[in-house]
Amino acid sequence: MQVYTDITKLPEFTRAVITIGSFDGVHNGHKAIISELLKEAATVKGTPVLITFHPHPSQVIGGRPPVDTLNTREEKLALLEKAGVPFVVEVPFTHQFSEQTASEYIHQFLVNCFHPHTIIIGYDHKYGKGRLGDYQLLEKEGAESGFRVKEIPVHLLKSAAISSTRIREALKNGDIEIACQLLGYDYFFSGKVVKGNQLGRKLGFPTANLEISDSSKLIPSNSVYAVECKMNNHNLNFYGMMNIGTRPTIQGTGRVIEVNLFNFNEDIYERELTVYVKRRLREEKKFPSLDALRKQLSTDEVQAKSFFNLS
């Protein structure tokens, strides 16, 4: 997959068929849109080009809280490649870019940069300053400028929009199975293993404490989960359980992510761990004593191992 990040240095795409969106999550709804893009490009013997933005527009445009993203930039690009997209243009989304009028967006951005043969877009897609541009304006300008506009089927568009919202809500509520079903893959995030307070080791459940570098990445709700993990420079997958929360039993301060890997006893400080969230085991809660917490962790371990069919 070719990725372009400088819109002033794009190749001349032959009969470009383009679609535009944030594509955060690259979930099942997005994959259906990508399928339409690839199908249309094949039909007109054109080049399929997916246009996306970084950072997420909500983190630049004021007026509403920024969205917690389902993917980091690197994750999204990897998922788009896996979905079969051959060309991605990642537009640096700046305040200046957001100030383009709808007409400037069409002519200075879409037409000048891509010379599109076909633009595939949703009926409710809004663009330009104040989000005043719509499907009808694009059709009108297309007739004058020589490009076609094709509408994404309503059911696919609604599926994509509903999925993005539902996935975020599900993750924030701990509904991992719903989130993964809508995504079409296990929700995951990566972090660097850093030193914690060593409490897990004292309890008999040593943990890898993760530091997440991208503060906009959505982390699931405070709970205990069964997880599968991958480690950089390591060929094996590992199974374990993870706690996300504030550790109320010891009156912890701040939110932490702690992963206990089963049958594992290596020094992995400063290594990057990717965590795939498989199932929520229970909510985080305060226990009357460390001994009570230890007993609960033993129960959690049995449940997680049972989920993975481990002895």
Taken in order 261, 27, 178, 217, the sign of the CA dihedral is positive
Q: Tell me, what's the pLDDT at 46?
A: 98
Please tell me the number of Cα atoms within 13 Å of 88 on its side-chain side.
25
At residue 236, the pLDDT reads 78
pLDDT band at 205 (very low <50, low <70, confident <90, very high): confident
In a domain, 262, yes or no: yes
Per-residue model confidence (pLDDT) at position 251: 78
Q: Is 180 inside any structural domain?
A: no
Residue 139 lies in a domain: yes
Report the amino acid identity of residue 144: E
Confidence of residue 234 (pLDDT cuts 50, 70, 90): confident
Residue 138 has pLDDT above 90, yes or no: yes
Residues 298 and 157 in one domain: no
State the pLDDT at residue 301.
96
User: Which pLDDT does position 122 carry in this prediction?
Assistant: 79
Q: Is a pLDDT exceeding 80 seen at residue 229?
A: yes
Per-residue b or e along 25-58, where b marks 16 or more CB atoms closer than 10 Å to that residue's CB = bbbbbbbbbbebbbebbeeeebbbbbbbbbebeb
What pLDDT digit, counting tens, does each position of 275-300 carry? 999 999 999 999 999 999 999 999 99
Q: Give domain status of residue 1, yes or no.
A: no
Among residues 137, 169, 201, the one where a domain terminates is: 169
Closest to 32 measured CA to CA, from 154, 117, 171: 154
Q: Are 259 and 208 in contact (CB under 8 A)?
A: yes
User: Do residues 265 and 153 both lie within one domain?
Assistant: no
Residue 165 has pLDDT above 90, yes or no: no
The answer on 128 and 17 residing in a single domain is yes
Among 116, 141, 169, identify where a domain stops. 169
Cα–Cα dist 99/86, whole Å: 29
Residue 158 has pLDDT above 80, yes or no: no
pLDDT at 121: 87
Q: Based on the fold, state whether residues 158 and 46 are members of the same structural domain.
A: yes
**Are 155 and 251 in a shared domain?**
no
Has residue 252 got a pLDDT over 80?
no
The domain spanning residue 49 has which CATH number?
3.40.50.620
Query: Residue 75 — very low, low, confident or very high, per pLDDT cuts 50/70/90?
Result: very high
Q: Which domain CATH number covers 273?
A: 2.40.30.30
Question: Quick check: is 124 in a domain?
Answer: yes
* Higher-confidence position of 201 and 99: 99
pLDDT at 12: 94
Are 50 and 162 part of one and the same domain?
A: yes
Average pLDDT over residues 124-150: 91
Check pLDDT > 80 for residue 253.
no
Whether residues 48 and 146 share a domain: the answer is yes
User: Please, what is the average pLDDT of the chain?
Assistant: 92
Q: Which domain holds residue 220?
A: 187-307
Tell which residue, 95, 97, 99, 129, has the closest CA to residue 113.
Answer: 97
Give the model's pLDDT for residue 162.
Answer: 74
pLDDT recorded at residue 232:
82
> Same structural domain for residues 44 and 89?
yes
- CB-CB contact of 192 with 213 (8 Å): yes
Average pLDDT over residues 114-138: 90
User: For residue 198, is it within any domain?
Assistant: yes
Q: Residue for token digits 């594992």?
A: 264
Question: Does residue 299 belong to any structural domain of this protein?
Answer: yes
**Per-residue pLDDT tens over the stretch 80-103:** 999 999 999 999 999 999 999 999
Task: Give domain status of residue 24, yes or no.
Answer: yes
In the sheet that holds 87-92, the strands lie side by side as 2-4, 87-92, 47-54, 16-20, 118-121, 148-151
Pick from 34, 47, 22: which is nearest to 83 by CA? 34
Say if residues 242 and 257 touch (Cβ distance below 8 Å). yes
User: pLDDT category, 155, cuts 50, 70, 90?
Assistant: confident
User: Domain check: are 159 and 199 in the same one?
Assistant: no
Q: How many domains does the chain divide into?
A: 2
From the CB of residue 134, how many other CB atoms can be counted at a distance below 10 Å? 16
